Amino acid sequence: MRIRAEKISKDFDEKKVLDNISFDLKEGMITGLVGRNGSGKTTLLKCLCGIYDIDGGSFSLDDKDLRENPSLIKNIAFLPDSFDYFNYYKVKHIPGFFKVIYEDFDETFFFEEIKRQKIDPDKNVRNFSKGQKNILGLITILASGAKILLIDEILDGMDVLNKKEILSYLIDAKDSGKAVFA
């Protein structure tokens, strides 16, 4: 799958946040997104996954523009810097939400990995630490089957053990042919 961003631009009111950003992502590679706080990293990720509309440029998968082909979204999974969307749901209910977009969501992988991580499927997400939420979020997007993983500041505030787990998951994703943009 060819993944290309060309001349992405985004403004909020009068402030230009992204200006002519272009790059290619490659399957089977981890690409780092580096910049200071407030430099537009999160905005770029949200534009790429369709949360924000871009003001200029394009993001295409195999030369098909995401805006013109919304079904392509199933190839992209986004993990925000805080996995709080499901705070008032039990872990075991998360796959149901993801299966709406990702029809090939791998529930077996999801439940095996949360068991391995000692995450209780009957607990509400709000009861977990940031590290547990980040690992849960990462397991969730990996189970989606998406070919492109957009990950926002997943290592921020993580202890050494959680960092090791997260990096192991990211390397496995890369080795399985996913494009990881973090």
The CATH number given to whatever domain includes residue 120 is 3.40.50.300
pLDDT digits 0-9 by tens, 68-85: 898 898 999 999 998 998
> In this predicted structure, what is the pLDDT of residue 107?
98
> In this predicted structure, what is the pLDDT of residue 66?
85
CA 25 to chain centre: 14
Query: Strands, E, within the chain: which ranges?
Result: 3-12, 15-25, 29-31, 56-61, 64-65, 76-79, 148-151, 179-181
pTM of the full predicted structure? 0.94
Q: Residue 45: give the domain boundaries.
A: 3-181
pLDDT digits 0-9 by tens, 113-161: 999 999 999 999 999 999 999 999 999 999 999 999 999 999 988 999 9
Domain count, the chain: 1
Please state, rounded to an integer, the average pLDDT across all residues of the chain: 94
